[in-house]
């Protein structure tokens, strides 16, 4: 990737110190971001709450082998799903009619949150129980991980369907998946992580940047279904202007051609720090 991981550690150590000083938190408190390939991200909050976004693990070609076992994630408090596609609900490649989101919810008892129409379909499919599934919509703020952590659903420019293959008949059925979305998670110390989900460029990224002021963005750059590196660079530099970006949703399948190198080249000189990490890498902020 061209960047020494020791440099990441040095940088993130410095970031933790600066944030802690700004917010008056103990210097040991940090948000841990663990990227597991494609859009799958495990986030651990300062108080230890664990949020998993878009779990696509068991059949994800980029997920490190040890994380293809869902138990490896340990305790999970909240599962967030941006939209219904198989690489986000995690049924892509599965042949049992279930999904990684469903199995992870079963194992952990986590609350499962997403666009209302997607949760409806997950309820109908038996992927989540009525006790676990929480429907909400764009603009809504929810606190399923406790009052100190706020999750806001925001717009994404994409589509959302849930395609399921019956394990017995092999018949494929496509269900509505609600509106595609992104999520902004504001942690106990005010740090804001924005997981964009799958999205093309849209003008309200400027509004999201101005209004929500995300610190760290997990940004899709692969092209074809989402922004390509040039689009992502424009979004970063001209509209969202975050402090940090982790590029995601590239290289998992041949059509997702964009690379972090192309994204950084398109970005040029910018105040935004880019972390082109590998699946399985963790950063702390």
| Binding residues vs Zn ion (CB under 5 A) | 85, 198
Distance of CA 192 to the CA centre of its chain: 13
- Supply the DSSP symbol for 277: P
Instruction: Please tell me the distance from the alpha carbon of residue 138 to that of residue 157, in angstroms, as a whole number.
Output: 12
Smallest separation (angstroms) from Zn ion to the CB of 218: 14
Minimum CB separation of residue 172 from Zn ion in Å reads: 17
DSSP readout, 44-55? E-TTS-EEEES-
Comparing CB distances to Zn ion, the nearer of 8 and 225 is 225
Cα gap 247→256, rounded to integer Å: 12
Smallest separation (angstroms) from Zn ion to the CB of 24:
39
Using the minimum distance from each CB to Zn ion, give the nearer residue, 72 or 163.
163
Alpha-carbon distance of 78 to 237, in angstroms, equals 31
Task: Between 101 and 149, name the residue whose CB sits nearer to Zn ion.
Answer: 101
How many Cα neighbours within 13 Å face the side chain of 40? 30
Asked whether 151 and 111 are in contact (CB, 8 A), the reply is no
Smaller CB distance to Zn ion: residue 198 or 262? 198
Least distance in Å: CB of 88 to Zn ion? 6
40 vs 264, beta carbon nearer Zn ion: 40
Cβ–Cβ < 8 Å for 76, 52: yes
Return the number of the residue (99 or 189) whose C-beta is nearest Zn ion. Answer: 99
* Min separation Cβ 76 and Zn ion, Å: 22
- Supply the minimum distance, in Å, between the C-beta of residue 75 and Zn ion: 27
Helix (H) / strand (E) element for 100: namely helix 100-108
- CB-CB contact of 245 with 217 (8 Å): yes
- Which run of H or of E encompasses 186? strand 181-186
């Amino acid at each position: 990737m061209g960047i020494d991981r020791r440099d990441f550690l040095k940088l993130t150590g410095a970031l933790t110190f600066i944030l802690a000083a700004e917010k008056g938190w103990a210097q040991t408190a940090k948000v841990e971001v663990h990227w597991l390939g494609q859009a799958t991200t495990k986030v651990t909050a300062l108080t230890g709450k664990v949020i998993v976004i878009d779990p696509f693990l068991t059949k994800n070609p980029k997920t490190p082998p040890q994380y293809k076992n869902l138990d490896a994630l340990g305790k999970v408090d909240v599962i967030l799903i941006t939209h219904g596609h198989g690489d986000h609900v995690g049924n892509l490649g599965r042949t049992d009619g279930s999904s990684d989101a469903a199995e992870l919810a079963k194992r952990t008892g986590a609350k499962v949150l997403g666009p209302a129409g997607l949760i409806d379909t997950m309820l109908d499919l038996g992927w989540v129980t009525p006790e676990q599934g929480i429907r909400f919509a764009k603009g809504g703020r929810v606190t399923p991980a406790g009052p100190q952590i706020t999750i806001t659903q925001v717009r994404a420019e994409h589509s959302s369907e849930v395609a399921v293959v019956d394990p017995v008949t092999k018949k494929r059925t496509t269900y509505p998946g609600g509106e595609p979305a992104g999520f902004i998670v504001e942690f106990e110390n005010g740090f804001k992580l924005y997981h964009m989900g799958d999205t093309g460029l849209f003008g309200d990224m400027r509004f999201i940047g101005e209004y929500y002021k995300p610190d760290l963005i997990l940004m899709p750059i692969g092209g074809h279904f989402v922004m390509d590196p040039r689009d992502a660079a424009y979004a970063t530099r001209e509209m969202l202007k975050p402090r940090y970006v982790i590029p995601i949703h590239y290289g998992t399948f041949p059509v997702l051609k964009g690379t972090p190198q192309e994204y950084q080249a398109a970005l040029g000189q910018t105040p935004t720090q880019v972390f082109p990490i590998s699946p399985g890498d963790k950063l702390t902020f």
